[in-house]
Amino acid sequence: MRSVKGALTIAGTDPSGGAGIQADLKTFQELDVYGMSVITSVVAQNTMGVRGVRHLEADFIKQQLEAVTDDMPVQAVKTGMIANAKMIETIANHLRPLHLPLCVDPVMIAQSGDALVDDKALQTMRDQLLPLATIVTPNIPEAEALTGNSVKSEEDRKEAAKRIVHEFGSSAVVIKGGHLNGEATDLFYDGTRFETFTSPRFETKHTHGTGCTFAAAITAELAKGESLKEAVKTAKSFITLAIHHTLEIGQGQGPTNHWAYKETIRKGEYV
């Protein structure tokens, strides 16, 4: 019988399929992990922006969490958009006793510039969710919001990484470099060593859901039992290929190509 590894995403939706729950489930599938999902908010969005949001009640999020984890094999968990403090608290309370590998993507603003979480959520995320995290994956503005410090230089980025691990209690962090210039370099820190993961920067507007996809790929690899560093390495390859082999769909910031990683391996072009 096929052995099944499962990953759970707890996040908001994107009906246009490039970000949020939809991106996470596509990524899990492409990386051969059984995907499960708990929806926090239903978001009316597409590649051009956010048109409306409906938040689910914290109690109903709890009911979804119980339904999945009472029954199914969950080897790793990812969190994405969690809009308010009450939701974060509910999710953290459910996850705390489970002791599962957890990738926290501290989603704050959609790439279109629309805010996805409220102001008080930040503090609760820092206090309740980050201490449970195996890894946190902020982009530069999210690292700035979490630490309250501006991140301009490489030294600033290292300092922010240190604080996220040693002060906020996450086991590791990768501060993504998508918002910088030059090569796309992500800085990984696990409390002892820094490592960078670098790819060329592609001139493209198709970056809707890059952060979600990257974090989902890390989670899938953790579900399979890969080490944290191997998981980040594979996730970096996955997102690089997904950005490079762009899908020309959507009128705004289009989605990434979740097929590209497997197609590249199938063609024997993967290095």
Ligand X SMILES: Cc1ncc(COP(=O)(O)O)c(N)n1
Among 12, 101, 106, 138, binds ligand X (CB under 6 A): 12
Each residue 117-156 as x (binds ligand ADP by CB under 6 A) or -, in order, gives ----------------------x-----------------
Choice between 23 and 87, CB closer to ligand ADP: 23
Q: Which residues pair with 53 in a beta bridge?
A: 43
What totals of helices (H) and strands (E) does the chain contain, helices first? Answer: 9, 10
DSSP 132: G
DSSP 126: I
Q: 49-108: which residues touch ligand X (CB under 6 A)?
A: 80-81, 107
Which phi-psi region, left, alpha or beta, contains residue 49 (left: φ > 0; alpha: ψ -120 to 50)? left
Tell me the longest C-alpha to C-alpha distance in the chain.
Answer: 52
Among 31, 95, 110, 216, binds ligand X (CB under 6 A): 110
**Cα distance between residue 240 and residue 179, in whole Å:** 15
Among 94, 176, 253, 255, binds ligand ADP (CB under 6 A): 176
For residue 26, indicate whether it is catalytic: no
Taking the complex as a whole, the smallest distance from the CB of residue 177 to ligand ADP amounts, in Å, to 5
Q: Which residues pair with 126 in a beta bridge?
A: none
For residue 198, indicate whether it is catalytic: no
Count of CB atoms within 10 A of residue 260's CB? 21
Each residue 150-189 as x (binds ligand X by CB under 6 A) or -, in order, gives ----------------------------------------
For residue 27, indicate whether it is catalytic: no
Choice between 13 and 90, CB closer to ligand X: 13
For residue 212, indicate whether it is catalytic: yes
211 binds ligand X (CB under 6 A): yes
Structure tokens at 116: 């996805």
As a residue count, the chain comes to 271
Residue 80 contact among ligand X, ligand ADP, none, beta carbon within 5 to 8 Å by kind = ligand X
For residue 207, indicate whether it is catalytic: yes
Taking the complex as a whole, the smallest distance from the CB of residue 57 to ligand X amounts, in Å, to 17
**Cα distance between residue 65 and residue 78, in whole Å:** 13
Structure tokens at 235: 């996730």
Q: Which residues pair with 208 in a beta bridge?
A: 255
Residue 43 contact among ligand X, ligand ADP, none, beta carbon within 5 to 8 Å by kind = ligand X
SS3 category, 32:
coil
**Cα distance between residue 195 and residue 265, in whole Å:** 25
DSSP 185: E
Choice between 162 and 245, CB closer to ligand X: 245
For residue 176, indicate whether it is catalytic: yes
Q: 11-70: which residues touch ligand ADP (CB under 6 A)?
A: none
The site for ligand ADP (CB under 6 A) is made up of 139, 176-179, 184, 186, 199, 201-202, 204, 207, 210-211, 214, 236, 239-240, 243
**Residues identified as active-site:** 176, 207, 209-212
